[in-house]
Amino acid sequence: MVFAERVKKLRKEKKVSQSELAKMVGTDIRQISRYESGKILPYAETIVKIANVFDVTTDYLLVENAPRKPFRFDETELLEHIEEIRNLTDEDKKCLYHYINALVTKNKIKTVAQKII
């Protein structure tokens, strides 16, 4: 329920209606209502969009004890995270590799699609 509570709180802080938030993230008001009631969790891509709208990290939206930090990060913070990868389990490293690979592939497909259009 962390996600539901935080999205609702952030939306109210910014004085954004569910309808406005839905437009900002490319969904509809019913989905936002379901997110805030804890009935469903959005896809990862939508979670990133919501984090971007409210300028918080996805960790803050999903993890109970995560600190509230801005969505945007500097390269120093990224380098710190890269250093921390060494401490991950082999299974987590494999998951991270697949996630990064998926993002890179998605970006390549997007670039090719834009050239076609």
Alpha-helical regions (H) of the chain: 2-13, 18-25, 29-37, 44-54, 58-62, 75-84, 90-116
**Residue 26: both structure tokens together:** 């490319």
What single letter denotes the amino acid at residue 10? L
Residues 6+ apart with CB under 8 A from 2: 61, 62, 63, 64
Residue 73, pLDDT score: 62
Q: For residues 25 and 50, is the Cβ–Cβ distance under 8 A?
A: yes
The residue type found at 106 is: K
**What pLDDT, in 10s, does the model give residues 62-116?**
999 988 887 776 677 778 888 889 899 999 999 999 999 999 998 889 888 888 8
What's the CATH fold of domain 2-62? 434 Repressor (Amino-terminal Domain) (1.10.260)
Q: What is the pTM of this model?
A: 0.61
How many residues are listed for the chain in this entry? 117
Maximum mean pLDDT: which of 29-38, 54-63, 102-111: 29-38
Domain ranges of the chain: 2-62, 75-116
